[in-house]
Chains A and B, each alone.
Chain A
Amino acid sequence: QLQLQESGPGLVRPSETLSLTCTVSRASVSENKHYWAWIRQPPGKGLEWIGSTHHSGTAHYNPSLKTRVSISVDTSKNSFSLRLTSATATDTAVYYCARFTRGFDSWAQGTLVTVSS
């Protein structure tokens, strides 16, 4: 069964870049029928989609974040990564990586990232 595991710093300084990686096990990021996504959830709030990418290079981003975000796939490492620049306290959230096929059908456990000095 597919496994997703996030990794990256749990604390980011304001104005710096938030970077996370999602390692995929028991499936390939190169499968054509899947997109790979990042979704976040501020404490006590709802889900916010950050963006999704396909191994072909196609990517879609949340319009409210697109000037600061990039998501890329690394087929050699079977992983995909998130970069969010110019972080502020409002970026503090649990970040999930997930696979999209028909709906987001697999999710990682989530990792809390706090933006604070």
Chain B
Amino acid sequence: SYVVTQPPSVSVAPGQTARITCGGYNIAAKYVHWYQQKTGQAPVLVLYDDSDRPSGIPERFYGSNSANTATLTISRVEAGDEADYFCQVWESNTDDPHVIFGGGTKLTVL
């Protein structure tokens, strides 16, 4: 079955750029969605369809998807960006189409 892999943790200093990856075989053929989850809160969609931002999400959040890796990039990182980030795809190449979440990446702002 299809698997997506995220690094467990990423650390970055304020003002720097954070890159969170989501790896999967030929993931570029799929749309990747990204969620931010702060402690004790429900997840929030921050990017959909690889790189589109819902209203209210800062332009500092942007995404790319190529070959076997999708990437969520957060520029000019702020303390308020500290959270868990999850990628998500739809696996349709099966008799049982289903949603897959990555294991999540904890972003720490140093």
Q: Which residues of A come within 8 Å of B, CB atoms?
A: 37, 46-49, 52, 60-63, 66, 96, 102-105, 107-110
Pick from B49, B99, B101, B104: contact of A102, CB below 8 A. B49
- Pairwise interchain contact A107-B44, C-beta atoms closer than 8 A: yes
Pick from A46, A48, A63, A103: contact of B96, CB below 8 A. A63
Pick from A48, A52, A105: contact of B48, CB below 8 A. A105
- Pairwise interchain contact B52-A47, C-beta atoms closer than 8 A: no
- Pairwise interchain contact A104-B98, C-beta atoms closer than 8 A: no
Supposing A46-B86, A46-B101, A47-B101 touch, asked if A104 and B96 sit within 8 A by C-beta, the answer is: no
Q: Which residues of B come within 8 Å of A, CB atoms?
A: 1, 31, 33, 35, 37, 42-45, 47-49, 52, 54, 84, 86, 88, 96-104
Pick from B42, B97, B104: contact of A96, CB below 8 A. B42
In the assembled complex, which residues on chain A have CB atoms less than 8 Å from the CB atom of B98?
49, 60-63
State the CA gap A108–B43 with chains docked (Å): 9
Q: Can you spell out 14 A-B residue pairs with CB atoms less than 8 angstroms apart? A: A37-B99, A47-B35, A47-B101, A49-B88, A61-B98, A62-B98, A96-B42, A102-B31, A103-B33, A103-B54, A103-B88, A104-B35, A107-B42, A110-B42
State the CA gap A11–B97 with chains docked (Å): 31
Q: Find the A residue at minimum CB distance from B91.
A: A63
In the assembled complex, which residues on chain B have CB atoms less than 8 Å from the CB atom of A48?
101
In the assembled complex, which residues on chain A have CB atoms less than 8 Å from the CB atom of B35?
47, 103-104
- Pairwise interchain contact A102-B103, C-beta atoms closer than 8 A: no
- Pairwise interchain contact A66-B49, C-beta atoms closer than 8 A: no
State the CA gap A54–B77 with chains docked (Å): 38
- Pairwise interchain contact A52-B99, C-beta atoms closer than 8 A: yes
In the assembled complex, which residues on chain B have CB atoms less than 8 Å from the CB atom of A60?
96-99
